[in-house]
Structure 1
Amino acid sequence: MTDLIQILAAADPHAATAESAGLAETFGIHTSHIIMQAISFSILAGVLWKFAFKPVLATMDEREAKIDSGLKYAEEMKVKLAEAEAEKKKILQEASVEAKTIVTEARQTAEARIDKSVQDAIKAAEDITKKAELQIENDRKQMLAEARSEISRLVVATAGKVLAKELTEEEKSRYSESASATLV
């Protein structure tokens, strides 16, 4: 059929347009309807573009930007987390070194205090020993004095019994002094 139209168009240019116009009407094609539909489609496409596609595309661009921003933020947070972990390790190492230093200082301080306490205890023990020796010496002297006194009394009593007479105070004193001199 198109061949026939082409043949007719080649033979008579006016006849071909009339023929094709008649043919279009034969098939129910009206050019005014096609033009109206093209205008309606253009208006509908413009309205859809302005109120549907444009906001949807803007929303998609916005969401894409948010997703990109979120991914960048996640990467930044990964980097910051790694930095924080490194900082944490560094701080823990410094704290460990500082703790070891503190423990060492505490041990040295404790040893120094123990040494001082030992020296103080030794000094106190020496003081106590000296006081005890002085007390013992004083007690010994007192016991010797008491023993001399008792021995003198016994010598006088014995001399009095041996002599079978009562001794005078002067004789008792002489015998006591003589006994005391002999004991020293």
Structure 2
Amino acid sequence: MLTFDLALGAATGGLNTGDIVFQLVMFLILLALLGKFAFGPVMNIMKQREEHIANEINSSEERNIEAQKLVEEQRDLLKQARVEAQALVENAKKLGEQQKEDIIQAARSEAGRLKDAALQEIEQEKEQAIAALRGQVASLSVLIASKVIEKELNEQEQEKLISDYINEVGEGR
């Protein structure tokens, strides 16, 4: 391209070095002004932006690590809660079984007590019946003896008298 410019300059009447130097100086001044007023602040802004992004990335990584720790803690707490719930269920089952056994044992004890009380009552009533029967037998014996004493009976009359008294006792019940 430089050769093309030289050829173009030669065609127009020669190479104008004054214009080239002026343009080069202006370009350097423009470059210096851009460096001072544009590139410096832009570079500072870019550096600040880079630092801000790096800080955000670090902060995000720290929050991510904290979140992972919290997730692990929550998992541990959930596992612990499940274990505690399982233990509570097992304890409730054991307590239920124990109460069931206690109720069955109490019912058996009560049934045994009622059976013993009924047997005692039966025994008392039996003793009372035997005592009453003895009393009746004794009174019948006395009555028979007094009748026998009043009259002397032969064997047939004695048997008839005994069977009559037995029948009377049977009807008297």
Are 1:68 and 2:36 an aligned pair?
A: no
Which protein, 1 or 2, shows the higher relative CO under an 8 Å CA cutoff with sep ≥ 6? 1
Once the two structures are TM-superposed, the CA of residue 24 in structure 1 deviates from its matched residue by 0.8
Equivalenced residues, count: 140
Give the letter aligned to residue 118 of structure 1. Answer: A
Of 103, 107, 120, 1:127 maps to: 120
Which residue of the other structure, out of 3, 11, 18, is the alignment partner of 1:22?
Answer: 18
> CA separation in 1, counterparts of 2:118 and 2:79?
57
- The answer to which of 65-74 and 133-142 deviates more is 133-142
Percent sequence identity is: 9
Distance 2:54 2:148 in 1: 129
Larger CA Rg, structure 1 vs 2: 1
Aligned to 1:16: none
Structure 1 window deviating more from structure 2 (112-121 vs 41-50): it is: 41-50
Q: Does 1:104 align with 2:100?
A: no
The runs of 5 or more residues in structure 2 that have no matched partner are 7-14, 150-161, 166-173
Query: Cα distance 1:103–1:30, how it changes in 2: closer, same or farther (>3 A)?
Result: same
CA distance in 1, matches of 2:125, 2:49: 107
Normalising by structure 2, report the TM-score.
0.56
CA RMSD between the two structures:
3.9
Measured after TM superposition, the shift of residue 180 of structure 1 is 10
Query: Is the 1:5–1:20 Cα contact (8 Å) retained in structure 2?
Result: no
Matched-pair contact (CA < 8 Å) for 1:24–1:30: yes
After TM superposition, list the pairs within 5 Å mapping 1:1-184 onto structure 2: 2-3=2-3, 21-24=17-20, 29-31=23-25, 33-43=26-36, 44-50=38-44, 52-137=45-130, 144=136, 178-179=146-147
TM-score (norm 1): 0.54
